[in-house]
Amino acid sequence: MPELPDITAYLTALEPRILGRKLERVRLQSVFVLRTADPPIGAVEGKTVGELRRIGKRIALGLSDAADQGQEKVWLVIHLMIAGRLHWRPRQAKLSGRQGLLALDFSDGTLVLTEAGSKRRASLHVFRGDEALREIDPGGVEVFSSDLDEFRAALSRENRTLKRALTDPRMISGVGNAYSDEILHAAQLSPVALTQKLMPEQWERLFAATRSTLELWIGRLSSEARKRFPENVTAFRPEMAAHGRFGQPCPRCGAPIQRIRYADNETNYCAACQTGGKVLADRSLSRLLGSDWPRTLEELEALKRR
């Protein structure tokens, strides 16, 4: 699932292409992608994109026009989920095949939403006004606008495993399965350590690692996005230290990267660097993570701060 660095890269690529441009036409290939009815999808046609935002792992396009002075923006909100991806195509590009879900036609090109596989998890919402937009924000803290105390308070509000806490959208904004592995590897902390049992020094390491890891990948992916549209967004990158590297050597110590599998999720970690040499991938720990996790990714993404 595209996470904070990936969404930031998309926004970096979209800004010069659609900001200040009129959305001429919306084409829906799949009715299932649209999850709202009011305002209707046609309400955005003919309006100009005046703002781009990231809301957790969602991309929001704010649209208005000159005749709307004093009126609230209409927002298009795209959630890519696991297999949804954005593509920049020539103007009025055809939507072909089962993967093409949505096309947004602009004067200089077309933004296309595709989704691999048969599960239709990617979604499009249309909202009117900023207040409606705020209602979909799960409420997790923004890493770069919070301090250590705010970060610690958010993640320790419930006694969760670090893996779950980092990926809970109510606790921290924009982090998912891939970058939580990278953060915990950088912090040299166990994915199953409980938040309410961390020592102050461990919180300092976790906070610093979260910022530095996200800064590294935001910088790297945004730099690429300024050169070309990010067409091949993936959670598995060869430069990563732990995520997706089961059995490969840890770049810090050379020990093989381990994994814990549970439901549709997988956690990668280095036993030597993060767990004192203890291999965690057994049934009891899989059950621990499983019981600490919603049954589906849809449930996890739907969580909101009460």
Architecture of the domain made up of 143-301: Orthogonal Bundle (1.10)
Greater confidence (290 vs 216) lies with 216
Residue 104: per-residue pLDDT: 97
Cβ contacts of residue 43 below 8 Å, gap of 6+?
A: 74, 126, 128
Q: Within 10 Å of residue 272's Cβ, how many Cβ atoms?
A: 18
Helix (H) or strand (E) holding 300: helix 297-301
Residue 232: per-residue pLDDT: 85
User: Where in the chain are the domains?
Assistant: 4-134, 143-301
Q: Where are the beta strands (DSSP E) in the chain?
A: 25-28, 48-55, 58-64, 74-79, 84-89, 100-105, 110-115, 123-128, 257-262, 265-270
Q: What superfamily in CATH does domain 4-134 come from?
A: MutM-like, N-terminal (3.20.190.10)
Q: How many residues does the chain have?
A: 306
* Residue pair 102/86 in contact by the 8 Å Cβ criterion: no
Q: Comparing 4-134 with 143-301, is the CATH topology the same?
A: no
Candidates 229, 243, 290, 156; CA nearest to 6 is 229
Taking only the tens place, the pLDDT of each residue in 163-187 is: 999 999 999 999 999 999 999 999 9
- Quote the pTM value: 0.91
Look at residue 306 and give its three-state secondary structure. Answer: coil
Per-residue tokens: 26: 């919306």
Taking only the tens place, the pLDDT of each residue in 241-267 is: 999 999 999 999 999 999 988 766 789
